[in-house]
Amino acid sequence: MNIILLGPPGAGKGTQARILVDERRMVQLSTGDMLREARTSGTEMGKRVAEVMDRGDLVTDEIVIGLIREKLEGGESSGGYIFDGFPRTLAQADALGALLDDVGQDLDAVVEMQVDDDALVARITARSTCANCGEVYNDHSKPIPADGKCTNCGATEFKRRADDNEESLRTRLMAYYKQTSPLIGYYYAKGDLRSVNGLGEIGEVAGGIKTALG
């Protein structure tokens, strides 16, 4: 099963993708994670996109489509792929359809995670992740344990994303509404869209996604 998790920044796509990876042995393909990795490893592409990402704008279609192409052509996932944060434009959506065709695969569902904008701001400004495994924490709903150890891997270092501040978030939200939200209509018309309430507890949202996927 290949699925897209679609939703604004802070909707919980990464958190839910990790649950699907654990439960269904799916492979998470997050273009945001790939781009952050390219930045920290100091590749030319990483250097080029750093400023764009910190501002909260989208990097070019060419770059992210190239990243996804590499993964799809280079690997195999018996449990299927979760596309997290990709596609974000209509051009990327078309390219994903063509890439999946090329490797003889289909898109099974697009899960739209619905969250109101006030909740997004609150979530993002309180978000941190484990520096080792990427487990996501939230100062209010899922704080870092009192012993300072990640519940998933035991590491003791945590980080906040450079673009998780109110100014970048405003740009990221605008990019979502201008460039990404048309994908909701695009996938609805294709018959692939399943909408899920992304506002509840992590487990409740996971249950909603499970029901939506059948």
| 9 touches ligand AMP by CB under 6 A | yes
**Least distance CB 9 / ligand AMP (angstroms):** 5
**Least distance CB 147 / ligand AMP (angstroms):** 28
Give the tokens for residue 198: 């992304």
How are beta strands 109-114 and 193-197 bridged, if at all?
A: parallel
Q: What part of residues 12-51 is at the interface with ligand AMP (CB under 6 A)?
A: 31-32, 35
| 172 touches ligand AMP by CB under 6 A | yes
| 115 touches ligand AMP by CB under 6 A | no
Measured distance CA(21)–CA(199) in Å, rounded: 21
Task: Report, as residue numbers or ranges, the catalytic residues.
Answer: 13, 88, 127, 161, 172
| 8 touches ligand AMP by CB under 6 A | no
**Least distance CB 31 / ligand AMP (angstroms):** 3
Return the closest-CA partner of residue 87 out of 5, 198, 148, 168. Answer: 5
Say which residue the tokens 């996938």 belong to: 187
Residue selected from 26, 27, 58, 93 as contacting ligand AMP according to rule CB under 6 A: 58
Measured distance CA(58)–CA(99) in Å, rounded: 21
**Least distance CB 150 / ligand AMP (angstroms):** 19
For the chain, helix, strand, coil in percent to 5 are 50, 15, 35
Residue selected from 6, 17, 26, 59 as contacting ligand AMP according to rule CB under 6 A: 59
Residues 158/137, Cβ–Cβ less than 8 Å:
yes
| 64 touches ligand AMP by CB under 6 A | yes
Residues 198/94, Cβ–Cβ less than 8 Å:
no
Cβ nearer to ligand AMP, comparing 64 with 209: 64
Strand partners, 196: 113
| 183 touches ligand AMP by CB under 6 A | no
Residues 46/40, Cβ–Cβ less than 8 Å:
yes
Q: Residues interacting with ligand AMP, by CB under 6 A?
A: 9, 31-32, 35, 52-53, 56-59, 64, 85-86, 88, 92, 163, 172
